[in-house]
Each structure stands twice: as structure tokens, then as C-alpha cells.
Chain A
Amino acid sequence: MSTVLVLAEQQFGKLANASLNAIGAAQALAAQVGGGFDIAVAGSGIDAIAATLAGYGAARVFQLEHAALKDYTAQAYGQAFAGAAQASGAKFVIAAATSIGKDCTPRVAARLGAGMASDVVAIGGSASAVTYQRPMWAGNIQGTVKINTAIQVLTVRATEFDAPAAAGSSPVEKVAAAVDAASLRMRFVKLDSVKSDRPSLTDANVVVSGGRGLKEPANFEKVLAPLADLLGAAIGATRAVVDAGWVPNDWQVGQTGKVVAPALYIAVGLSGAIQHLAGMKSSKTIVAINKDPEAPIFQVADFGLVADLFDAVPELTRQISARK
């Protein structure tokens, strides 16, 4: 019986990368408290996903199957995961703080009578008294919390935990998920996403973000895209330009958008509102290009260039390209 259970995420037959970071967190927690970890994944017809998850050193992989799990809904997946947690006897239940993780994991906690810590960035304390560090007030305060219940539930910020190395071959237990189909009163209709060849914001090693300083939507393509393409970067945006309809909502970086921590974050024509900083200030290297020397973004930038972005960014693109 393992002490820790990871709730891995799949949608449309694809395993979420963030789940690997959750497994990394589970490994660290299991090492701290003792007792090893299991992984649970839910869906319908997910043999391949379960097989992939068997390669990360879990004691067991629980493949929870039910027709009602074909598409993700909070109600059905909450029931399935809680059932697996109860059956496994886990004392700690971890999921990545993705949209699905945030949507579903509190329901799991409620079913388990467990307290939950959201968006944990570090795990500390001792074997018998675990503490969790989490950002509060848009990351302006670092809080340390503890959970008093017999079972502790947490979501982890994927950017703060390393994915595990491949390890061994876990046995996969395929089980009928504990879903009460008659209780379900919601259904998934569709997911509209803007297809892109660029890496996803949360996975990218480099992010180039733009704000209102770009002046018009077309400049995301004209000015930022060449730089992003050259660096193999994802493109992010501020709330202001998303609200204005310049770019899709899932490009938003911030307290309530995507939280990213790439090796390199280039902030172009954005002032650096508190809520935006909350989503990127853990990036390893931050570059800011803005013609306003007072812009708050310069306070977090490692390298700041006060310049007109319409001159600076094409020049930057040119020079980096010349080096290749």
C-alpha cells in the first residue's frame, strides 16, 4: 500500500506533460514521508496511456475505466479518482495544477473529507509533519500551510517540480471506475482550441510575450512571431490584449492565466502589471524591451532594454539569426 497517489491527467488519449511533474513531486514526497507512490489515470479505452505511466517507478498504476469517463467532466472524474484514492489507502493525493487539476481535485478532496493545498510550489517539513509552500496574493506573499486531516490533497505547480527519469515497469491494474452514472448531470460538449505549431506556453523553454505596446493585433505576427520562430518559443500575452481580442485567451500569462517558468522570457511592449508578473517572475532569465523606463517589468528583468520595440525586436531577431 503506497502512501502517495498521483492523479494523472489525460484528455483525448494524450497524457498531460504536467502530470510528469506531478509524478516528480510525488517521488519527492514519498521519499520524505516514506512508503512509495502509485499513479491513477481515468478514461475509457486508455491502455496506451496506462502503459506509458508504468515507466516512472510507481508501485502500481491504476487504470480506471468507465464509459462515463470517455470525455472529461469534473463530476465523473472526481468520483473515479476519489474511489481510487480510497481503495489505494493513500495518505497524500497529488495532481498537477492544470485547468483539469484545479477543476477536479477539490471534488476529490471533498469526497475524501480531506483538506487541500492549491498550487503548491515546494514541499517541506518532516516525515510526520508535511508543510506546503504556496503563492498567495498573486505571489506577493509566500505562504506555508499544513493540512490537519488524515488524508492530504494537493495540486502542484508543474513548473516547480522536475519530471522524473524513466524507471522500471510498474504493474498496471485495470479496474472499473467507481462512477455513479445516474448522479451525473453534466456533459462535455466540445473543446475549441487554436491549433499551433509552436510549443505550448507551459512546456516551452522560451516564451516571447507581448502587450499593448505592440499597438495592433497584426504586430504579434509581424514583430513577435519571427523572433519566436527563431527561438522555438511559445508566444504569450497580457490580459489587456486578450481582453481586446487580439489573441486567444489561452495565450494569457498571469495570476489567473498561465503560470510559466521558462529558461528565457522576453517581455515586449508590456508594462508588467502585478497580475502579469505573478505568471512569469519565476522564469530563469527575463528580458524586457519597452520604451518606458518606468515600466514595472524592468524591476524583475535581468536585462532591460529601453527602446522602441519596433526597432529593437527586428534587430534582435536579425542578430540572433546571424549567429546561427
Chain B
Amino acid sequence: MKILVTAKRVTDPESKLSLTKDGRIDYDSVDFKMNPFCEIAVEEAIKIAEDADDAEVIVVAVGSEDATKEIRTALAMGAHRGILVEADEDTLDSDGVARILVALCKKENPDLVILGKQAVDGDNNQVGQLLAEYLGWPQATFAYKVEIGSDGKSAVVQREVDGGVETVEASFPLVLTTDLRLNEPRYASLPGIMKAKKKPLETLEPADLGVDVAPKVQTVSMALPPKRAAGRLVKSVDELVKALATEAKVI
């Protein structure tokens, strides 16, 4: 079984973001880490591979050279080899990432592609679905539980949806995207980290894959959201009820 899994380098969600004078993210003041949903994707890929006979997990990052750090983390967790596709993160959009992954899938022919459902920077929640449609494959997004069929050629997936939990069944090859509660990602062990240094890591450019990454969606500007008017502390339930009734007029 061959599993392709993506790992995106994102700003640490706990970092406080600020904008530079010309309205761009001030990256100097933030930390970076692997997108939490991608960590869950990598963990799921490794778990599935561990349970299968003779499975390979290939981790792919699309972005700057710094993303090799995230690839090494995934390799340290247990992925077998890594691919970095170097592309300009400032202009790359979801569709560009999807088109790069299409080319990689045509090269690698995976049975499963597992992605995080969204990256916590762009919050687009598109790449997995775009990829699946471009390949003509089924998809199971927002996965909460994945059970691989005994034939190793299909999966039953429980998905977190608005109304509760939905169960779908699909045959391989298949695209999965991960939701928060799918698993608890392992920490890379020290032996894992040492082994990761020797695992293959290939660097490519979109042109090598015949992909033009001209974006379909462009960010025109960014701003901090308008601040809410300052609220106040009330001293008692009496005061709260009075405020809700007479000021907010909601009760």
C-alpha cells in the first residue's frame, strides 16, 4: 500500500500575529510548526502503514525550503521518504497546491492520499477536495475514524459533519482529510529523529512536474479585524440581568 501524506509549515497558532506597515504578515515575530491537521494526517498515514503489509508513507510539503524541517519531523514520526516541492508561499493558492499533488499522484500512484482538512493559516479547506476531483477519485473529508477494509482496497470512514457523525464507504484510490479527533499524533522519538536524517528527501520544482502555479485566487490585502467595543465587568447577577434587559435588550 502506498500512502501520500501532506505536511504544511504554518505559523504557530499560539503566536500573536501582527502586520507590517505595508499590510503583510510580520513573520519575524512568529514561530512555525507543522499544521495541526497535517500532524494528524501524518499520524494516521503511519498508523495505517503499520497495520498493513508492506506499506510506504511518502510525506510531501509544498512551500519554502524551510518546510524541509516539517518533512524531517514526519520522517522522524515514521514516514519513509519525503518530497519538497519548492514554491513561493506568498502567491501559491489552494488550487496550485492541488495541481502539484495531482502531478505527484500521477507519478507515485498512491492508494491513499491523506491531508489535513485545512491549514490554520489560510483556513481554506479546499486542497483535498480539489485534488480528489482532479483525479476523479472519491473523498472522505473531516475524518473522525478510518477503518481500512480487510482487502486493503477500501475504507469505511466516519466524518464529523454539522448534524453529527456521517459514515461513508469508498474504494481506493481515495483522498482523506483529517479532523481534530481522528487521532493523537505521536512525538518523534530520538531514534526516529536519528533515522530520519538518512531517509530520502527529494526536492522538486513545479516546473519539474509540468505544473504552472499561477494562482487563481489572490490576496489583495490583509487587515486586523475591527475590534469589538470594549465591554465591562458587572458585579452581580442583578447587574447582569439589568444590563441584558435594558442595554442589550436581549431578554
Contacts and interface: CB of A to CB of B under 8 A. Distances in A.
B138 A184 contact: yes
B165 interface: yes
Interface string B129-149: 110111011111110100000
Interface stretch (B44-52, B59-67, B70-78, B235-243): B235-243
A52 interface: no
Given A148-B217, A264-B250, A312 B168 contact: no
A239 interface: yes
A280 B164 CA distance: 20
Main secondary structure of the interface of A (DSSP, over half): mixed
- Counting contact residues on chain B (CB < 8 A from A), the size range is 35 or more
Contacts of B228: 281, 286, 300, 302
Contact of A145 (B217, B224, B250): B217
Interface stretch (B1-9, B116-124, B197-205): B116-124
B114 to A, nearest CB: 16
A33 interface: no
A162 interface: no
B231 A75 contact: no
Contact of A191 (B19, B166, B222): B166
A78 B169 CA distance: 17
A249 B165 contact: yes
A284 B144 CA distance: 32
Interface string A171-197: 000000000000111111111111000
Main secondary structure of the interface of B (DSSP, over half): mixed
Nearest to A242: B181
B171 A185 contact: yes
Contacts of A231: 251
B20 interface: no
B194 interface: no
B13 interface: yes
A144 B236 CA distance: 42
Contacts of A239: 180
Given A115-B93, A115-B216, A148-B215, A106 B245 contact: no
A220 B93 CA distance: 42
Interface string B5-35: 0000001011001010000010000000000
B210 interface: no
Contacts of A190: 166-167
Contacts of B156: 189
Contact of B237 (A131, A263, A315): A315
B144 A186 contact: no
Interface stretch (A35-43, A54-62, A250-258): A250-258
B156 to A, nearest CB: 7
B133 A192 contact: no
Contact of B162 (A98, A140, A312): A98
A303 B162 contact: no
Interface of B: 11, 13-14, 17, 19, 25, 93-95, 98, 117-118, 120-126, 129-130, 132-134, 136-142, 144, 156, 160-171, 174, 179-181, 215-225, 228-229, 231-234, 236-238, 240-241, 243-245, 248, 250-251
Given A116-B94, A144-B219, 11 more contacts: A102-B129, A103-B129, A109-B130, A142-B223, A148-B215, A189-B156, A189-B166, A250-B164, A303-B234, A305-B233, A305-B236
24 contacts: A75-B138, A104-B129, A106-B130, A107-B129, A107-B132, A136-B222, A138-B123, A144-B223, A145-B217, A145-B218, A188-B166, A188-B167, A189-B168, A249-B181, A256-B118, A258-B162, A274-B14, A284-B248, A285-B248, A300-B228, A301-B231, A305-B234, A305-B237, A323-B241
